[in-house]
Chain A
Amino acid sequence: MIDIQYFVDYYNDFPFLVKLVWIVSGLMFSAIILLTIYLKVIRYYLRKKDKEFTKFKNEYEALLVEYLYADIESEEFNKEQQAIILKIKDHILFKNKRKMIISILYNLMNEVSGEMADSIKTLYYKTGLIDYALTRLKNKNWYIIAKGIGELTRFTVADVHDDVIKFIKHPKREVRKETQLYLVSLYHFEGLSFLNELKEPLSEWDQVQLLEILQKLDDQEICDIRPWLRSTNDTVVLFALKLSQIYNQFEVKDSLMDLLSHQNKSIRIYVIEVLTHLYGIEAKDKLKANFNDLSIEEQISFFGLLEKLVIPSDEPFIEKHLFHKNFEIQLLALKILKSINIDKFMGLNNLPTHKKSPAMLKLEKIA
């Protein structure tokens, strides 16, 4: 008691600043102790959770393999399989276990094909997991709906088309995207019909994802893309242009020609690229006639087309643009001239330096 009183008196005699330092030190020391205990508890909890996860995972994996090999030849479920279904049905009442079972089923479904993939899908139905996914579609939170649609896509549940299609005009982009992926994954080119009425922009990333799915399909017979080339939604037009390029849609050349006068510059530039790819020689005269009205990017794109589709009668046009104000066009014009009339190209070397274009000087330096 005397000792404590001594320390209290000793402390009281300290100047204010020293007192403050002691208080702060004490607080920090307590915080360190508390945080250490907290970290220990968290670590213990996470390890426990991890152990449980591994235990359940091993258990479910074994159950799944047992189910898949129970009697693969038989169409009817045997007693063993029925018992497994019942067991899983009980377990999926708990959210974390349900999540784990879905992830195991999905991981395996991605890796195996044929009758085994069909069996996994059947298990998804029989255990009632599909009902949970369908319940998610009725949730008021958009992210739950998106997750639900994503799950139905992964398990290729085609018979809920009507439940999913109603989200195609959902205000949230993520929900719309999941719906689009569902339609294309399950209904392939036919699923692209949502483009007919799409008013919202289709982002570059959305387009890449859709194309990725389409390119993995066995059946590469594409539908008529002309209506999308005429769409009022510019992103739909751009997507249709990508389709026409990837799937070599020579039959849509007329629609592509119309797009050369589209109001959106990105579309006009991309159309020239697609026409180059599809050997759209018909575009040359139209573009030549309007050349001076085109933007620099379009002009460069057109010279890219000429580089591929040039014929000797294009020579005067090329020559006219050897001294274009844009360096890239100068260079392309020189390259094209070299390919159609090497003598004339070589003759340019005789020009005095002050009369040469920057592209000519650059080429001279490289040579």
Chain B
Amino acid sequence: MSKNKIVLAEDNSTLSLLLKFRLEKEGYELFMAVDGKEAIELIETHKPDLILTDIMMPFVSGLEVISHVRNELIIETPIIVFSSAGQEEMVLKAFSLGANDFMGKPFSPNELVIRVKRLLA
């Protein structure tokens, strides 16, 4: 059985590495992007089963990534967004653009794994 593919867009390299390690341990194949631009390229190339994206990223934001996936690529891939405190407005925008779930930072990687599993079930 082929592994489920996940694109992770996060500009904090330590958090990216931590989540990569954790999700790979759970049997997922991870593709890492440090900004939204890279994330879009990875999504177009690898057609992932799930997208994890931070909202605030350099060059292209998480909101633009969601908009691109839903309006340009027109695909229904589940998207989980990460947001920091004070970004409640952004989270609402993310949902209206088509995000499926969100996690407020700081979050527990274990909880993220549960949400990923639920969306990929």
Partner-B contacts on A (CB < 8 A): 57-58, 61-62, 64-65, 68-69, 104, 107-117, 216
Q: Is the CB of B14 within 8 A of A108?
A: yes
| Distance between Cα atoms of A68 and B25 in the complex (Å) | 13
Q: Is the CB of B105 within 8 A of A110?
A: yes
Q: Give the nearest-CB partner of B110 in chain A.
A: A114
B54 → chain A, closest Cβ, in Å? 9
Q: How many A-B residue pairs have CB under 8 A?
A: 51
- Whether, in the assembled complex, B18 has its beta carbon less than 8 Å from a beta carbon of chain A, the answer is yes
Chain B residues closer than 8 Å to A216, beta-carbon distance: 85
| Distance between Cα atoms of A299 and B110 in the complex (Å) | 57
Chain A residues closer than 8 Å to B106, beta-carbon distance: 109-113, 117
Q: Is the CB of A68 within 8 A of B14?
A: no
Knowing A61-B17, A64-B14, A69-B21, say if A112 contacts B107 (CB, 8 Å).
yes
- Whether, in the assembled complex, B4 has its beta carbon less than 8 Å from a beta carbon of chain A, the answer is no
Q: Is the CB of A65 within 8 A of B109?
A: no
Q: Give the nearest-CB partner of A216 in chain B.
A: B85
Partner of B12, one of A58, A65, A111: A111
Partner-A contacts on B (CB < 8 A): 12-15, 17-18, 21-22, 25, 85, 105-111
Q: Give the nearest-CB partner of B21 in chain A.
A: A65
| Distance between Cα atoms of A116 and B21 in the complex (Å) | 14
Knowing A111-B105, A112-B106, A117-B106, say if A69 contacts B22 (CB, 8 Å).
yes
A61 → chain B, closest Cβ, in Å? 5
Partner of A113, one of B17, B18, B25, B107: B107
Chain A residues closer than 8 Å to B13, beta-carbon distance: 57-58, 61
Query: Mind listing 17 A-B residue pairs with CB under 8 Å?
Result: A57-B13, A61-B14, A62-B17, A64-B18, A104-B14, A108-B14, A108-B18, A111-B12, A111-B105, A112-B106, A112-B107, A112-B109, A113-B107, A114-B110, A114-B111, A116-B18, A116-B108
Beyond the given pairs A65-B21, A111-B14, A113-B107, 16 more chain A to chain B contacts, judged by CB atoms under 8 angstroms and listed by A's residue number, are A64-B18, A65-B17, A65-B18, A69-B21, A69-B22, A107-B12, A108-B12, A108-B14, A108-B18, A110-B106, A111-B12, A111-B105, A112-B15, A112-B109, A113-B106, A115-B108
| Distance between Cα atoms of A107 and B18 in the complex (Å) | 12
Knowing A57-B13, A69-B22, say if A116 contacts B109 (CB, 8 Å).
yes
Q: Give the nearest-CB partner of B104 in chain A.
A: A113
| Distance between Cα atoms of A282 and B13 in the complex (Å) | 57
| Distance between Cα atoms of A114 and B109 in the complex (Å) | 9
Sorted nearest first, the 10 A-B pairs with minimum C-beta distance are A113-B106, A114-B108, A111-B15, A108-B14, A61-B14, A65-B21, A111-B105, A65-B17, A65-B18, A113-B108
| Distance between Cα atoms of A359 and B73 in the complex (Å) | 57
Chain A residues closer than 8 Å to B105, beta-carbon distance: 110-111
Knowing A65-B21, A69-B22, say if A108 contacts B109 (CB, 8 Å).
no
| Distance between Cα atoms of A61 and B12 in the complex (Å) | 11
Chain B residues closer than 8 Å to A107, beta-carbon distance: 12, 14-15
Q: Give the nearest-CB partner of A62 in chain B.
A: B17
Chain B residues closer than 8 Å to A111, beta-carbon distance: 12, 14-15, 105-107
Chain B residues closer than 8 Å to A69, beta-carbon distance: 21-22, 25
Chain B residues closer than 8 Å to A58, beta-carbon distance: 13
A86 → chain B, closest Cβ, in Å? 21
| Distance between Cα atoms of A108 and B108 in the complex (Å) | 11
B120 → chain A, closest Cβ, in Å? 21
